Amino acid sequence: MAISYKKTKVYFYQITPLVNSNDKVKANKSISDVFKFKNATHKSVPHLDGDLSVNSIKLIHSNRYCLGTFIYNQKNNVPPKYDGNKTEPVELEKNQGLGYDCCFIFDSKTNIIAIESKKPGPSLSSIKDLIVSNYDLPNFDFVMVITPTEYQKFLNSPSYYRIEYSISKPTNSTGFKDKTKSALGSTIDAMDAINAMNGTMIYSVGQSKKKTLLLKEIRQFVQNLLRWNNDEEFIKTLKVTGDDIDDHNSKVFDLVSERLVEEIEVEKRRTIGKFFTEEKYKQIQGLYLKHQPLLLKQYKI
């Protein structure tokens, strides 16, 4: 009989502190340390019909990376055994349940975590509850990571003709403008002047086939937008039209909606005797390292 495999998606997030700019460096350092799960033991937290815990922690490459597993233990509403005719209860002791594993890798240089998506399994809010219950950490959130290949194609483009971006005004626009002495600061000045909360801007060379936007300035402008987007996620749209260096055709580089998602797979079995932790670690680590050079360029803290 041929072996069949089950695939699960792996989502990439940057763990971003929700603090003011003066506390950002210290908060990022705390996140880099906490998500290595160095405590000897960890308290579980309630989740759905059971609880969520963390296990199988491995620190690798001079403790830069953490490989670990979130385990959802379903203790209540456990379905019965069924043979096609009758049902029988699944005999479980007090703390036993149905175990669902969810593996991850965390990089302390970027504070990016790549998490396997499982249903039933942990949610981002339950993972946050688990962290808060075991560690002292400033408030934080999980921010989606943009596909680094799309970003690299944008950087490799030899010519840009059009840029479109939509933003919501930052809560502290004064502090924001102090840090971004650029066209972006001028955009926020204009929003302040007319009391606008949202704005969409389009800059282009029009119908000219000879003119292009300034290459260095567009790249710097986009990098500023993406860098400060981690503060408040105020960018709603960011699209740049330019030449694709691979096929020399015009291309729209979408730098917001192209989120980074990968897949891993494990063998399907009728009954699972143990978690596929080591096999998943190998695959997730390989996927992360494939993207790591470009992630460092865009997301290094």
Query: Is residue 199 within 8 Å of 187, Cβ to Cβ?
Result: yes
Q: What is the pLDDT of residue 176?
A: 54
Q: What is the pLDDT of residue 211?
A: 92
Which residues in the chain show pLDDT less than 70? 1, 170-184, 227-233
Q: What SS3 class is residue 78?
A: coil
Q: What is the DSSP letter of 261?
A: E
Q: Cα(46)–Cα(50) distance, rounded to whole angstroms?
A: 6
Radius of gyration for the alpha carbons in the chain, expressed in angstroms and rounded: 23
Q: What is the pLDDT of residue 8?
A: 92
Q: pLDDT tens across 45-68, in order?
A: 999 898 999 999 999 999 999 999
The amino acid present at 1, given as its one-letter code, is M
Q: pLDDT tens across 187-228, in order?
A: 778 888 898 888 888 999 988 878 999 999 998 888 777 766
Q: What is the pLDDT of residue 231?
A: 45
Q: What is the pLDDT of residue 228?
A: 64
What order of strands is seen across the sheet that includes strand 235-243? Answer: 198-204, 160-168, 235-243, 250-254
Query: Is residue 132 within 8 Å of 34, Cβ to Cβ?
Result: no
Please give the angle made by the CA atoms of 187, 193 and 199, to the nearest 5 degrees. Answer: 45
Q: What is the pLDDT of residue 236?
A: 83
H or E element: which one contains 235?
strand 235-243
H or E element: which one contains 230?
helix 215-232
Give the dihedral of Cα atoms 126, 131, 136, 142; nearest 10 deg: -70
Q: What is the pLDDT of residue 30?
A: 96
Q: What is the pLDDT of residue 171?
A: 62
Q: Cα(191)–Cα(170) distance, rounded to whole angstroms?
A: 10
Positive or negative, the CA dihedral 241, 242, 244, 248 is: positive
Identify any residues that bridge with 80 across adjacent strands, giving them in sequence order.
none
For residue 275, give the nearest of 65, 73, 105 by alpha carbon: 73
